[in-house]
């Protein structure tokens, strides 16, 4: 899909609504309250169940819920974010959409990031390199000392025939075995081979059902030890410095890790339109969120 095709296809509210309808109810309307399959339209955007009279809409319960902006603008935002190889900063999105408020652009990007994690996605499997690293970022609003924040993140990279497959990234509070084992269990299938360094936080992985391959740092240079993790980490750092000018506060780093993972895992996708459709598919499955929720998110030290 080219930009021209995109603009032709989603140029009206009706076209966008119809598309979201087909994603939410691929087999036709189902009332969320009583499962009845008939509804009539009320004031264009509402759907009223013919049986229990419950009113809903295609955007209720999705990331678009309560938006005061047209869906065509949302679709343009998703197109922009997915068609750019490295994504977009909030400032970039604000300019492209002509939004008055930076806050709105920032919130939209965060909402879209929540839709970048597919519900029920498969865990990594096979041969997986795992390592932790510090990520330095900052909040541009803060000045001077204390503006820089360090986040500890753990990185897992699947390797198939010496080629990198999918990745998982997670911010962790410490490099204890609780944190690292927890990450392994939620991100990687049992019976996989986990290749790590000799850090004691990794010991005991075999008792969780993994084949644990350990290479001690003294045997090799640190970057040669787990070379694929090293590549992913340098790409991640470059992306945060480039697309986001390093302005990613620790409090929100998880959202950026989700976006990076989404992009990285689809980097070989020959057709960029796929990312657009995948994001829309997730957007109707992921619940709503607000600026307030994002900002009041508790920071984990
Ligand atoms: Zn009903």
Q: How far apart are CA 250 and CA 48, in angstroms?
A: 43
Q: How far apart are CA 140 and CA 246, in angstroms?
A: 8
What pLDDT shows up at residue 119?
Answer: 84
Q: Quote the ligand 1 centre to 43 CA distance (angstroms).
A: 18
Q: Quote the ligand 1 centre to 50 CA distance (angstroms).
A: 7
Q: Quote the ligand 1 centre to 25 CA distance (angstroms).
A: 14
- Tell the burial category of 119 from Cβ atoms under 10 Å away from its Cβ (0-12, 13-18, 19+): exposed
What pLDDT shows up at residue 147?
Answer: 66
Q: Quote the ligand 1 centre to 40 CA distance (angstroms).
A: 11
pLDDT averaged over every residue in the chain:
90
Q: Quote the ligand 1 centre to 51 CA distance (angstroms).
A: 5
The beta-strand segments (E) located in the chain are 39-42, 46-49, 55-57, 127-138, 148-160, 163-171, 193-196, 211-214
Asked if pLDDT for residue 44 goes beyond 60, the answer is yes
Name the residues around ion ligand 1, CB cutoff 5 A: 31, 33-34, 36, 49, 51-52, 54
Residue 137 or residue 275, greater confidence: 275
Looking at residues 250-272, what average pLDDT do you find?
89
What pLDDT shows up at residue 101?
Answer: 94
Q: How far is CA 74 from the centre of its chain?
A: 17
Q: Quote the ligand 1 centre to 38 CA distance (angstroms).
A: 8
Q: How far is CA 82 from the centre of its chain?
A: 12
Give the pLDDT confidence of 132-145 residue by residue, as tens digits: 999 988 765 555 55
What pLDDT shows up at residue 300?
Answer: 46
- DSSP letter (8 states) at residue 55: E
Asked if pLDDT for residue 298 goes beyond 60, the answer is no
Residue 236 or residue 289, greater confidence: 236
Q: Quote the ligand 1 centre to 44 CA distance (angstroms).
A: 18
What pLDDT shows up at residue 90?
Answer: 92
Residue 90 is encoded by which pair of tokens? Answer: 């909030």
* DSSP string covering 62-104: STTTT--S-HHHHHHHHHHHHHSTT---HHHHHHHHT-S-HHH
Q: How many CA atoms lie within 13 A of 86 on its CB side?
A: 14
Residue 19 is encoded by which pair of tokens? Answer: 């598309």
Ranges 14-18, 67-71, 283-287: which has the least confidence: 283-287
Tell if the pTM clears 0.85, that is, is over it. Answer: yes
Residue 173 or residue 290, greater confidence: 173
Give the pLDDT confidence of 47-92 residue by residue, as tens digits: 999 999 999 999 999 999 999 999 999 999 999 999 888 888 999 9
Q: Quote the ligand 1 centre to 55 CA distance (angstroms).
A: 8
Q: Quote the ligand 1 centre to 42 CA distance (angstroms).
A: 14
């Amino acid at each position: 899909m080219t930009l021209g095709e995109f603009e032709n296809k989603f140029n009206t509210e009706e076209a966008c609504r119809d598309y979201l309808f087909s994603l939410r109810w691929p087999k036709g309307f189902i009332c969320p309250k009583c499962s009845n399959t008939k509804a009539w339209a009320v004031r264009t955007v509402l759907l009223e169940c013919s049986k229990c009279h419950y009113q809903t809409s295609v955007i209720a319960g999705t990331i678009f819920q309560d938006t005061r902006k047209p869906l065509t603008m949302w679709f343009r935002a998703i197109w922009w974010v997915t068609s750019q190889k490295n994504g977009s900063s909030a400032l970039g999105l604000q300019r492209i959409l002509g939004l008055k408020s930076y806050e709105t652009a920032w919130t939209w990007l965060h909402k879209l990031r929540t839709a970048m994690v597919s519900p029920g996605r498969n865990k990594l499997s096979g041969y997986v390199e795992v390592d932790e690293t510090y990520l330095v970022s900052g909040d541009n609003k803060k000045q001077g000392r204390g503006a820089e924040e360090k986040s500890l993140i753990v990185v897992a990279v699947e390797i198939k025939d010496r080629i990198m497959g999918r990745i998982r990234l997670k911010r962790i509070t410490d490099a204890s075995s609780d944190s690292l084992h927890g990450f392994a269990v939620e991100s990687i299938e049992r019976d996989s081979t986990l290749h790590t360094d000799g850090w004691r936080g990794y010991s005991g992985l075999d008792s969780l059902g993994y084949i644990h391959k350990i290479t001690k740092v003294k045997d090799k240079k640190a970057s040669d030890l787990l070379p694929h993790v090293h590549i992913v980490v340098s790409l991640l750092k470059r992306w945060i410095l480039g697309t986001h000018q390093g302005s990613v506060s620790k409090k929100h780093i998880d959202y950026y890790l989700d976006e990076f993972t989404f992009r990285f895992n689809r980097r070989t996708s020959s057709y960029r339109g796929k990312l657009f459709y995948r994001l829309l598919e997730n957007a109707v499955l992921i619940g709503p969120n607000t600026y307030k929720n994002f900002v009041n998110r508790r920071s984990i030290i």
